[in-house]
C-alpha cells in the first residue's frame, strides 16, 4: 500500500535503472573523493543507537557508521539495493546494518519505525529525489524520538545567478535522466519551514551548492 508521498518502489526494475545504479559510483568517484566523503564521515560519526538511513543507494555510507549504530537502510530501487548488498558482503563495516527494499511512503517502512523512535535519521543526496518532501519531513518528525536528530548532506538550489536560472531550466529534463533528482530544490529552506532547526550547519560549493546539517525539531 502506498500513500501520496509515494516512493519510487512502483518504478519497475528497468534497463535504465540498472544502468543508473551501475554508473553511480564511477560517476561520483571524483566528487566523493575530493568533497563528499569527508563530509559524510563527520556527519555519520555522530550516530548511535537506532538509525534509519533513507535511500541508501549503493551503500556509500556503510563503512562510515560507528559500531554503536544499529542501522536500518531503506532503498526502493532493486538495482541500487543489489550494489548495497554486495558492499555489505565485501566490506566488513563496524555497525550492524539491516536492509529493506522499500521507500518513504511504503507501509513497511512506517511499520518498522521503533515504538520509542529513531535516534537518528540519515539522508545523503536523497531529499532532492523524494517526490513529496513536505510529507516526508512530517514522517521524520513522527519517527524521531524526542531529541533525535536528522542528519543531512544535500545539494540544494543555488542562490547565485546564473546558476539558479540554469538549475531551474535544466531540472525538467535532468529529473528524468537522474531518477527524479531536482537540482533546484531549496531543501534547507523546506526543512526549516516545516519545523526543523539546525544545531549545526554548513554550506559549501562545488559545481553546485551543498548543505550539510545536523537538525532537530524539538
Ligand atoms: C542520488 S541517490 C543517493 C544514494 C545515497 N544516499 C548516497 O548518498 O550515495 C538517491 C537514492 O534515493 C533513492 N530514493 C528515491 N526515492 C526514494 C524514496 N521515496 N524513499 C527512499 N529512497 C528513495 C533512489 O533510489 C536512490 O538510490
Q: What is the CATH number of the domain that holds 49?
A: 3.40.50.150
Q: How much is the pLDDT for 92?
A: 77
- Choosing from 38, 129, 182 the residue with most ligand 1 atoms within 8 A of its CB, the one to mutate for a pocket test is 129
| 51, part of any domain | yes
| 2, part of any domain | no
Q: How much is the pLDDT for 218?
A: 83
CA dihedral 207, 209, 212, 215 (to 10 degrees): -160
- Contact (CB, 8 A) for 118 and 93: no
The tens digit of pLDDT for each residue in 37-83 reads 999 999 999 999 999 999 999 999 999 999 999 999 999 999 999 99
Q: How much is the pLDDT for 45?
A: 98
Q: Is the pLDDT of residue 93 over 90?
A: no
Q: Which residue has the cell 540498472?
A: 18
What spacing in Å lies between the alpha carbon of 44 and ligand 1's midpoint?
A: 17
Q: How much is the pLDDT for 4?
A: 37
| 32, part of any domain | yes
Query: Parallel, antiparallel, or unpaired: how do β-strands 49-54 and 118-124 relate?
Result: parallel
User: Regarding predicted confidence, which is higher, 12 or 110?
Assistant: 110
- Cell, residue 90: 565485501
- Cell, residue 127: 531529499
| 138, part of any domain | yes
pTM (predicted TM-score): 0.93
Residue owning the nearest CA to atom 10 of ligand 1: 126
- Cell, residue 190: 523546506
Q: Assign 104 a pLDDT band (cuts: 50, 70, 90).
A: very high
What spacing in Å lies between the alpha carbon of 34 and ligand 1's midpoint?
A: 21
% the chain with pLDDT above 70? 94
DSSP assignment string, 75-99: ---HHHHHHHHHHHHHS--SSEEEE
Q: How much is the pLDDT for 16?
A: 87
Nearest partner of 155 among 119, 193, 123, judged by Cα? 123
Nearest partner of 187 among 201, 177, 173, 174, judged by Cα? 201
Q: Residue 125: what are its φ and ψ, rounded to 5°?
A: 55, 35
Q: Is the pLDDT of residue 17 over 50?
A: yes
Count: domains in the chain: 1
Nearest partner of 150 among 111, 130, 123, 112, judged by Cα? 123
| 95, part of any domain | yes
| 1, part of any domain | no
| 190, part of any domain | yes
Nearest partner of 152 among 178, 135, 133, 171, judged by Cα? 133
| 3, part of any domain | no
Q: Assign 12 a pLDDT band (cuts: 50, 70, 90).
A: low
What spacing in Å lies between the alpha carbon of 187 and ligand 1's midpoint?
A: 15
Q: How much is the pLDDT for 124?
A: 98
Residue 94: which domain range? 8-216
The tens digit of pLDDT for each residue in 110-139 reads 999 999 999 999 999 999 999 999 999 999
Residue owning the nearest CA to atom 25 of ligand 1: 77
What spacing in Å lies between the alpha carbon of 128 and ligand 1's midpoint?
A: 9
What spacing in Å lies between the alpha carbon of 198 and ligand 1's midpoint?
A: 22
Range ranked top by mean pLDDT from 10-14, 124-128, 206-210: 124-128
Q: What is the mean pLDDT of residues 191-209?
A: 95
Ligand 1 proximal residues by C-beta, below 6 Å: 7-8, 54-57, 60, 74-77, 80, 103-105, 124-126, 129-130, 179
Q: How much is the pLDDT for 179?
A: 84
Tell me the pLDDT of the chain averaged across its residues. 92
Q: How much is the pLDDT for 8?
A: 46
- Choosing from 19, 38, 44, 55 the residue with most ligand 1 atoms within 8 A of its CB, the one to mutate for a pocket test is 55
Q: How much is the pLDDT for 2?
A: 39
CA 29/CA 31 separation, integer angstroms: 6
- Choosing from 57, 110, 130, 187 the residue with most ligand 1 atoms within 8 A of its CB, the one to mutate for a pocket test is 57
Amino acid at each position: 500500500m502506498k500513500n501520496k508521498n509515494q516512493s519510487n518502489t512502483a518504478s519497475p526494475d528497468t534497463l535504465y535503472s540498472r544502468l543508473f545504479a551501475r554508473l553511480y559510483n564511477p560517476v561520483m568517484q571524483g566528487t566523493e573523493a575530493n568533497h563528499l566523503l569527508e563530509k559524510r564521515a563527520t556527519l555519520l560519526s555522530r550516530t548511535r543507537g537506532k538509525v534509519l538511513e533513507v535511500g541508501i543507494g549503493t551503500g556509500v555510507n556503510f563503512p562510515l557508521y560507528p559500531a554503536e549504530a544499529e542501522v536500518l537502510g531503506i532503498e526502493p530501487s532493486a538495482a541500487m539495493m543489489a550494489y548495497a548488498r554486495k558492499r555489505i558482503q565485501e566490506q566488513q563495516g563496524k555497525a550492524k546494518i539491516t536492509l529493506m527494499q522499500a521507500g518513504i511512503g511504503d507501509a513497511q517502512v512506517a511499520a518498522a519505525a521503533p515504538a520509542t523512535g529513531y535516534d537518528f535519521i540519515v539522508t545523503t543526496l536523497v531529499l532532492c529525489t523524494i517526490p513529496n518532501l513536505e510529507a516526508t519531513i512530517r514522517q521524520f518528525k513522527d519517527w524521531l524520538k524526542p531529541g533525535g536528530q536528522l542528519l543531512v548532506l544535500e545539494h540544494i538550489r543555488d542562490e547565485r545567478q546564473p546558476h539558479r536560472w540554469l538549475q531551474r531550466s535544466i531540472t525538467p529534463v535532468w529529473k528524468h535522466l537522474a531518477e527524479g533528482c531536482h537540482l533546484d530544490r531549496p531543501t534547507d529552506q523546506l526543512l526549516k519551514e516545516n519545523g526543523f532547526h539546525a544545531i549545526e550547519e554548513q554550506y559549501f560549493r562545488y559545481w553546485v551548492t551543498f548543505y550539510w546539517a545536523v537538525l532537530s525539531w524539538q
